[in-house]
Structure 1
Amino acid sequence: MRQKIVSGSVTLLSGSALVTVINLGYNISVAKFLGPQSFGQATVVYTILTLISAITLSFQILSAKTVAKQGSLEEKIAVYHYLHRASWIWSIFAGCLLFAFRQNITSYLRLPGSTLVILLAVGAAFYIPLGCRRGYVQGAYGFRRLATNQVLEGGTRLGGSLLAIGLGFGVEGVVAANAAAMVAAWFSISPGRAERVASPLRLQETIPELTQAMVFFAGQVLINNSDIVLVKHFFPSKTAGIYAAVAMVGRVIFSFSNAVVNSMFPIVAGSREQDRKSLALISTSLLLVLAIGVAMIITLRLIPASLWAVLFGAGFRLPGVHTLPYLLSLYAASTVIYSLSAVVIAYEMSYKISGANWVQLLFSGLVIAGISRFHASLTEVIMVQVVLMLALLVAVALPFVWATLRHSHLPAASPSSNLRFIRRVSEDEVIGEFLKGDFEHSAYAEYHARAEALVFSADYYNQAENMRRRALLFMRHGSLWRELPADTHWYEVSIKESDFSHIRVFPRAHWRKITNGSFEFSKVMERTRDSLYERNSMFFEKIAAIRYRMRKPGALSGTVLLIGTDEASPLTVLDGNHRFVAAALEGRTHQLKFLCGLTPKMVRCCWYRTNIVTLGKYAKNLARNVINRPNNELAELFQGSEIASE
């Protein structure tokens, strides 16, 4: 796994190195031939295109993630076509929006005319679908082809710009060359053909992933590019042009770190949970980014100001103590710090819906607010970013490390685990078994007589009965059940004592008090045994009553529901904590029926992985359960069944 990341990173880093040389040639040539003022105009227009890349990169990362998870070429192509069509809708909308507000953008950025924004709109129309095509190649591990496409884009931009300047088209020609580069890159990276199959993606599944990606890249592009737009607004054109040259260094460093992320992302997305538990995968990426960044900072600080004046032109000299090398190295430090945060966030995104995206988006707003408040000099503008990027790194890294260490004590299940599949079961049967264990609750009092046969003599082939059992369960547990992913597959499984270390209890109610921070089932069972005769409470009395009931000849003790991502990953008890502990203490787990729900998407369920994002989703389902009034639906179903029986 680490070898794949390093190999992919080396390929993309090689491509990024060549792209960086091309982009340096582009920036130096345009700056030298156009001067600070026109260079600032060309750069800020390109920056607007970069801001739009929040959508482009969202489609790229979504394509890479979903393509990497598909098993066959046909499914990979089908997923790509589904997302590519959606990307064209977004691109046309973005192009029309730019065209409609061209005068407003021209005025705010102090541009010489609206033609630059119109050319930008053309480039944007191809830029978003380009992200989708690159995502397909990335998800299929075509790192060499991806790097080649990026080199083609950079080469077209450089060659077209030099040609346009030579023909006397100036800034308009440079922006047109940028738009042409997007078109050329899109045409050159079309995926291959395969037999058409139905796309395994559905709109309901793509919206959370696309939203996550857009939040991530919205924050990313604002952090990386909003400073250029703000400096162009607050400072004279010449000063803004000098700052654009400084910011160019940040883009170079970030392109290198992005190469590491692009190789890491599909590999981690296709990995299993036990592979991700180790910090080895992410540490490889972090060390690569840090090594590249530190080398760049030292190099930039040592290059004399006179050399930059030769490269960019005499107009790019900065008087005073804070010369160009100082600003370049300071800006590089800010970018390196942010790049480390981006690696952590992207790592989490590769296998789950990450809440760190929203933290990054919040900090992007703080960057805009900070620069708007503190912009007495270019140095002050950069220092605002350094301070905020340090705070962002702490804000995203500490929760990640804490969560990793907190779950690291849970041993990964091996392929030789005693978890054995007995048979596949339907969701209707699972609901029926869940209801059997819960039906004694007082909430069902008015249905005890009417629904006893429905619950305890269930016919799972009768859809009318299944609907009534579902309605009964949803009366108490609708919000709980809606949390489970729609593609959850249920199995009856065999659980033995050797599996206990791979199972966690969900820390609800009294369980949280006795777990002492460790929810591993075997440890919870030991603590319960130690406390059973020391405390007088309904909690322990319930466990004692279940144990007593299990000792009766021929007694069966109900069902335990488990959930997980796959058979080799830790499982969590969804329902049946008391009966599971009681059976384990009695050595009678063979009297229980274990039903296990598995899907890779279980990481989005708050019962399996509790975080801000999953709790927010649960709150939505809780509100939905209240609004839907399950009691009314239940009464109607039972009334209808009684009328039918008459």
Structure 2
Amino acid sequence: MSAITLPLKNKISPEQLFMISGLLVNGGNYLYNLVLGRILGPEKFADAAILITFLLVLSFVAMTFQLVTAKFSVIFEGTVFETFISNTYKKASIVGVVLGIIVILFSSELQDFFKTISSNMFVVFGIGVPFYFLMSVNRGIFQGKKELNSLSVTYQLEMMSRLLITFGLLFFFQIDSSLLISFGILGSFLFGLFPFKLKKFSFSKLIKLESTKSKMVRNFFIITAFYELTQIIINNSDILLVKHYFNSYEAGLYASLALIGRVVYFVAWMFVMLLLPAVVQLKKEGKSTVPILLKYVSYIAAIAIAIVLGCALFPNLIIQMLFGDGYLEIAPLLWKYALATGIFAVSNIFAYYYLSLDNYVPVVFSGIFGMLQILLVVLFHNSLEQVVHVQIIAMCILLFVQLFFFSLKNLKGFNFIS
């Protein structure tokens, strides 16, 4: 057996292994959502979708810490790196505890706004928030240091534990499904902490970075936090607003539509994980970063086109296979939602690229069009179809602006490695 696996390891790079692992993780997360949709039906799945959306929102907030950690894990070395990591863990813990307490305190208000059956699911979710932030910093170290095997393990443990705990609880206990799902999410946060680099985590040391380095970290953190906020708005505001404006049945249908249509975004996420440290490293070495951007853009564009075509040609088949006949009503909108998500995924690669280079103008673009999307959905929500159409409009304009900015930089001869 070892004679077989050794040549295989020599042929497959760590990046390729991470991509394979990422596909498995995304596949597992997809299976989790699909089985929930089939078991619960549209109305109960609407409540589950709120928890899943909260999980996505949390992942984007915590991604700020992960990206900051990843970037400066490439730049900082030695004692500076150790100090940076220790301080980042402390700050992530504080933010996680504060946000968790806020979710718990406002659980009743969240129940009223989103029209969920229970408020307890938000309480359980809030308890898990601090653990997710610690997990994200830990992942940032692995990402920046290109310890992709350890990075893969944390994602796999989170995914597999969520599957096993959630469906185990649903099988053995006949109580509020949304509460059981929240316990499954909490458990997955704990498992996702492993492997954890305890030696880099100390609350007792009060060592500060040099002012120049501290300013670098602070500036990048602020702009990354702003950008992740735009990601939250663009990726999740539609589901939250639909849950508010429409009844549970329609909200459940829309949640299934969003889940299928977002395949391309989840695939693009794997490329983003590899793009940021690669761009930072190339910049550090004084090499051109444009070729790697164009390579990843071409990958995402090809995947997006394939998914949109598949959704356009076989919408009923896809809906029946993934969710069942109870969701067929949403089939005509499938390719349109996939189109909106695909356009966003491509424009998102440009934004993360410039974020890696400390160029924050595209981040502002994302913020503007994220707010535009919310405004359009608030103003135009007479039907689910109208909600999807306004998102296509907003994302098309965003991609055009990002492409125009990229072209303008090239035409004017700007130096992309500085």
1:173 aligns with 2:184: no
For 2:181, give the aligned amino acid: V
Contact 2:339 2:392 in 1 (8 A): yes
Shift of 1:138: 0.3
Shift of 1:275: 5.1
Aligned to 1:396: 402
Aligned pairs for 1:119-134 (under 5 A) are 119-134=124-139
1:106 to 102, 111, 115: 111
Q: What stretches of structure 2 of length at least 5 have no aligned partner?
A: 1-11
| CA 276–230 in structure 1, closer or farther in 2 if over 3 Å, else same | farther
1:12 to 18, 23, 26: 18
Give the SS at the match of 1:407.
Answer: coil
Contact 2:143 2:151 in 1 (8 A): yes
Aligned pairs for 1:375-414 (under 5 A) are 375-407=381-413
Q: In the TM superposition, what whole-angstrom CA distance separates every residue of 1:380-435 from its partner, at most 9, and x where no partner exists? A: 11111111111111222212321233225x7x9xxxxxxxxxxxxxxxxxxxxxxx
Tell me, in whole angstroms, the C-alpha distance in 1 between the residues paired with 2:210 and 2:345: 31
Shift of 1:129: 2.0
Contact 1:9 1:259 in 2 (8 A): no
For 1:226, give the aligned amino acid: S
Aligned to 1:153: 158
| CA 402–40 in structure 1, closer or farther in 2 if over 3 Å, else same | same
Aligned to 1:254: 265
Tell me, in whole angstroms, the C-alpha distance in 2 between the residues paired with 1:155 and 1:222: 28
Shift of 1:300: 2.8
Tell me, in whole angstroms, the C-alpha distance in 2 between the residues paired with 1:193 and 1:352: 30
Shift of 1:132: 1.1
Aligned to 1:189: 195
Tell me, in whole angstroms, the C-alpha distance in 2 between the residues paired with 1:136 and 1:261: 15
Q: In the TM superposition, what whole-angstrom CA distance separates every residue of 1:186-235 from its partner, at most 9, and x where no partner exists? A: 2x031264799966465433221111110110001110111110111111
Contact 1:49 1:124 in 2 (8 A): no
Give the SS at the match of 1:375.
Answer: coil
Tell me, in whole angstroms, the C-alpha distance in 2 between the residues paired with 1:291 and 1:15: 21
Contact 1:8 1:263 in 2 (8 A): no
1:205 aligns with 2:177: no
Tell me, in whole angstroms, the C-alpha distance in 2 between the residues paired with 1:194 and 1:114: 37
Aligned pairs for 1:217-616 (under 5 A) are 217-272=228-283, 277=288, 279-306=290-317, 308-318=319-329, 323-324=330-331, 326-407=332-413
Q: In the TM superposition, what whole-angstrom CA distance separates every residue of 1:560-597 from its partner, at most 9, and x where no partner exists? A: xxxxxxxxx8xxxxxxxxxxxxxxxxxxxxxxxxxxxx
Q: Normalising by structure 2, report the TM-score.
A: 0.89
Q: In the TM superposition, what whole-angstrom CA distance separates every residue of 1:350-397 from its partner, at most 9, and x where no partner exists? A: 121412212211111111111111112222111111111111112222
1:21 aligns with 2:32: no
Contact 1:367 1:384 in 2 (8 A): yes
Contact 1:46 1:175 in 2 (8 A): no
Shift of 1:237: 0.4
Tell me, in whole angstroms, the C-alpha distance in 2 between the residues paired with 1:290 and 1:38: 34
Tell me, in whole angstroms, the C-alpha distance in 2 between the residues paired with 1:234 and 1:260: 34
| CA 384–40 in structure 1, closer or farther in 2 if over 3 Å, else same | same
| CA 42–193 in structure 1, closer or farther in 2 if over 3 Å, else same | same
Aligned to 1:62: 68
Shift of 1:90: 0.3
Which entry has the higher C-alpha Rg, 1 or 2?
A: 1
Tell me, in whole angstroms, the C-alpha distance in 2 between the residues paired with 1:305 and 1:51: 30
| CA 313–201 in structure 1, closer or farther in 2 if over 3 Å, else same | farther
Tell me, in whole angstroms, the C-alpha distance in 2 between the residues paired with 1:101 and 1:192: 33
For 1:368, give the aligned amino acid: I
| CA 268–200 in structure 1, closer or farther in 2 if over 3 Å, else same | farther
Aligned pairs for 1:65-144 (under 5 A) are 65-72=71-78, 74-144=79-149
Contact 2:139 2:151 in 1 (8 A): yes
Shift of 1:7: 5.5
Shift of 1:346: 0.8
Q: In the TM superposition, what whole-angstrom CA distance separates every residue of 1:335-354 from its partner, at most 9, and x where no partner exists? A: 11111111111111112141
| CA 127–276 in structure 1, closer or farther in 2 if over 3 Å, else same | same
Aligned to 1:573: none
| CA 224–9 in structure 1, closer or farther in 2 if over 3 Å, else same | farther
| CA 119–251 in structure 1, closer or farther in 2 if over 3 Å, else same | farther
| CA 33–81 in structure 1, closer or farther in 2 if over 3 Å, else same | same
Tell me, in whole angstroms, the C-alpha distance in 2 between the residues paired with 1:296 and 1:12: 22
Tell me, in whole angstroms, the C-alpha distance in 1 between the residues paired with 2:110 and 2:321: 33
Q: Tell me which protein shows more strand as a share of its residues.
A: 1
Contact 2:86 2:201 in 1 (8 A): no
Tell me, in whole angstroms, the C-alpha distance in 2 between the residues paired with 1:15 and 1:105: 35
Contact 2:46 2:249 in 1 (8 A): yes
Shift of 1:121: 0.4
Tell me, in whole angstroms, the C-alpha distance in 1 between the residues paired with 2:14 and 2:322: 33
Tell which has more relative contact order, 1 or 2 (C-alpha 8 A, sep 6+): 2
Aligned to 2:55: 49
| CA 273–128 in structure 1, closer or farther in 2 if over 3 Å, else same | closer
Contact 1:298 1:329 in 2 (8 A): yes
Contact 2:86 2:200 in 1 (8 A): no
1:34 aligns with 2:45: no
Contact 2:230 2:366 in 1 (8 A): yes
| CA 210–359 in structure 1, closer or farther in 2 if over 3 Å, else same | same
Tell me, in whole angstroms, the C-alpha distance in 2 between the residues paired with 1:270 and 1:58: 19
Contact 1:136 1:191 in 2 (8 A): no
Contact 2:22 2:152 in 1 (8 A): yes
Shift of 1:147: 2.2
Q: Normalising by structure 1, report the TM-score.
A: 0.58
Tell me, in whole angstroms, the C-alpha distance in 1 between the residues paired with 2:152 and 2:306: 22
Q: Tell me which protein shows more helix as a share of its residues.
A: 2
Contact 1:36 1:315 in 2 (8 A): yes
**Alignment: residue pair count:** 400
